[in-house]
Amino acid sequence: MKKILWLCPLLLLMLAVIGCDDKSKDDENPGGQLSQTTWALEMEKYPFLAYFPQYDGELENHQYNETMGMMQYIIMDYECEESAKTTYCAKLEAAGFVDENGYGIYKKETAEYQLTAVVSYSVGTFALSLSANPLN
Question: For the segment 71-116, what is each residue's pLDDT rounded down to a tens digit?
Answer: 999 999 988 899 999 999 999 999 999 998 889 999 999 999 999 9
Mean pLDDT for all residues in the chain: 81
Q: What is the pLDDT of residue 100?
A: 87
Distances in Å between the alpha carbon of 30 and those of 26, 44, 85?
6, 14, 28
DSSP-derived 3-state class of residue 129: strand
Q: What is the pLDDT of residue 37?
A: 85
Lowest mean pLDDT among 8-17, 62-71, 90-99, 109-118: 8-17
